[in-house]
Amino acid sequence: MAEKGTCGCCGKTTDRTEDERKKLIHRLNRIEGQIRGIRGMVESDAYCADILVQSAAVNAAVNAFNKELLASHIRGCVARDIREGKDEVIDELVATLQKLMK
């Protein structure tokens, strides 16, 4: 199991300000609420087109979250690692972008 504050998959962490953390969590909470709303629509047999509109809104919200997090990652983690001579971060960034663009 990973230590508190580390990622279980890679062991890396990102230091975020309290404001950055709060903004990301706020976005995720809204997305979670939207998902619960869609689930309720399915459970109550809502009209398919109405559910699809809400699903598109969730996709847009997730994309906005990803854009914000990606920008922060590039400005912070990637820039820091390049300044420290850790050029492998470029390959990692390319791989991440390829996954996001699927």
Q: What is the pTM of this model?
A: 0.82
Structure tokens at 22: 């709060």
H or E element, residue 60: helix 48-73
Digit-coded pLDDT (tens) for 40-91: 999 999 999 999 999 999 999 999 999 999 999 999 999 999 999 999 999 9
